[in-house]
Amino acid sequence: MLIQENISLRPFNTMGIEARARYFARFGSVSDLQELLKERIKGASPFILGGGSNILFTGDVNGWVLKNEIGGIDELYEDKNHIYVKVGAGENWQSFVEHCISRNWAGVENLSLIPGNVGATPMQNIGAYGAEIKEVFQELEALHLEDSTIHTFSVNDCEFGYRESVFKRKYKDRFIILSVTYRLNKTPQFNTSYGAIGQELEGMGVKDLSIAAISQAVINIRRSKLPDPAVIGNAGSFFKNPSISSSRNKQLQQRFPGIVGYPGAGDLVKLAAGWLIEQCGWKGVRRGDAGCHAKQALVLVNYGNASGKEIYDLSEDILQSVKQKFGVELEREVNIVV
Ligand code: FAD
Ligand code: EPU
């Protein structure tokens, strides 16, 4: 196995941030990974890299960066309503979505065009357009970093929440996800109620609804709103949409009648962080090569040579101004590394 030293991580993060890894290696199998873990300097936890679309490097990584390239899509078994498919953590997510759509396996079409790899999908329970990965999640296999034992996690074990899982909290940096088994539906339950999907399908002239049509509608909407990382560096939404109590929301509505919020769990209201940020005047603001996207204020961008620190500092100023104006604390969604 090739272990490289002092490697630039710029090609490996969609923010396009320049940072260096002291040691860098790729693994395509569990045995390769176990070999690498024996090699690495004891004590230092390696940083596990997927597609690099949800991270911000704020400095160099002085230890190991291990890129997960475990592949494979295996149909395990099926029952009356479902098909169970085990996918290697290193498979590209959108390729897997296309694989499902071409076979008419339903459940992931609303999650089309989310960048990154399969192994990261449970990390923050990826979500978009009215769907979350937990709805099609069956189980995952992960290797414990301390003793290289392999553990199976059920949906309950993962403690999924909005952009949350046990792997971002209790088990942060403790496991490497090797594979994810998804439970796809043989009969689609179309989900077109979220946002502009219905409108987009109408505009597309769709008469017979299908998962392929929904996927295309989601792709069209995403392309119209979100910057393409191949053109301009970004990691999607930089912050989570914050939840507040409905009484607090009512108070805010009196002061800010245009505030955008959606019913959340229980008594909570989920506010559109993009609206809060826009109201603070950040939308389209550029500081050097760091900026707040002109079409979607929730997305921070790198126009070319911004450092991770510059993006982070911008995010901190945004966070503070939203706190000052609305009394609402934003939480970063992107994983800050180093
Ligand atoms: P990485 O960025 O490589 O890693 C993310 C985190 O997971 C890191 O902490 C890393 O250490 C850890 N990790 C990765 N793989 C493993 C593994 N195998 N085992 C253990 N830890 C691992 N997200 C959404 O939820 N919804 C969206 O709609 C959405 N839209 C986006 C749009 C754009 C344009 C971009 C750039 C990003 C968007 N994202 C969205 C965020 C991102 O695409 C997802 O979070 C994605 O799942 C990250 O996958 P990745 O492989 O790139 O992870
Ligand atoms: N809005 C503004 N100004 C902005 C941006 C948004 O006022 O600059 C308001 C608008 O009222 C808009 C509302 O916010 O209607 C919601 O915006 P949008 O539909 O773009 O969704 P979002 O809440 O900003 C979330 C996810 C996205 C996901 C979309 C679609 C989070 C943190 N973000 O964005 O996920 O794709 O919904 O479901 O939950 C990501 O996680 O990286 C990501 C892109």
Whole-number Å distance between alpha carbons of 17 and 54:
12
Interval between CA 300 and ligand 2 midpoint (Å):
13
Is residue 333 part of the annotated active site? The answer reads: yes
Interval between CA 67 and ligand 2 midpoint (Å):
29
Interval between CA 206 and ligand 1 midpoint (Å):
31
Ligand 2 pocket check for 330: Cβ under 6 Å: no
State which ligand 2 atom lies nearest to the alpha carbon of 241. 32
pLDDT of residue 147: 87
- pTM for this entry: 0.97
Angle among Cα 113, 118, 124 to the nearest 5 degrees reads 85
Interval between CA 286 and ligand 1 midpoint (Å):
25
pLDDT of residue 41: 60
Tell me what percent of the residues of the chain surpass a pLDDT of 90: 92
- Amino acid 17 reads I
pLDDT of residue 39: 77
Q: State the residue for tokens 């805010």.
A: 252
Give the ligand at the shortest distance from the Cα of 47.
1
| pLDDT tens-digit readout, 256-313 | 999 999 998 889 999 999 999 999 999 999 999 999 999 999 999 999 999 999 999 9
State which ligand 2 atom lies nearest to the alpha carbon of 235. 42
Q: Which of 53, 141, 163, 200 is catalytic?
A: 163
pLDDT of residue 303: 97
Single out the residue of 264, 263, 257, 301 nearest to residue 282, CA to CA. Answer: 301
Q: State the residue for tokens 């009196």.
A: 254
Ligand 2 pocket check for 274: Cβ under 6 Å: yes
Which residues lie closer than 8 Å to 246 by C-beta, 6 or more apart?
Answer: 267, 268, 269
Ligand 2 pocket check for 240: Cβ under 6 Å: yes
pLDDT of residue 43: 58
Q: What integer is the mean pLDDT of 210-217?
A: 98
DSSP states of 155-182 as a string? HHHHT-BTTB-TTTTTTTTTEEEEEEEE
User: Do the beta carbons of residue 277 and residue 298 sit within 8 Å?
Assistant: yes
Q: Is the pLDDT of residue 241 over 70?
A: yes
Whole-number Å distance between alpha carbons of 295 and 276:
14
Is residue 174 part of the annotated active site? The answer reads: no
Is residue 112 part of the annotated active site? The answer reads: no
State which ligand 1 atom lies nearest to the alpha carbon of 118. 51
Q: Is the pLDDT of residue 126 over 70?
A: yes
| pLDDT tens-digit readout, 249-267 | 999 999 999 999 999 888 9
User: Atom 34, ligand 1: which residue's CA is nearest?
Assistant: 236
| pLDDT tens-digit readout, 147-204 | 889 999 999 999 999 999 999 999 999 999 999 999 999 999 999 988 799 999 999 9
pLDDT of residue 38: 85
Angle among Cα 172, 161, 196 to the nearest 5 degrees reads 125
Burial environment of residue 223 by CB neighbours within 10 A (0 to 12, 13 to 18, 19 or more)? exposed
User: Atom 16, ligand 2: which residue's CA is nearest?
Assistant: 272
Q: Is the pLDDT of residue 321 over 60?
A: yes
Q: Which domains does the chain have, with CATH numbers?
A: 4-68 (3.30.43.10), 73-185 (3.30.465.10), 233-337 (3.90.78.10)
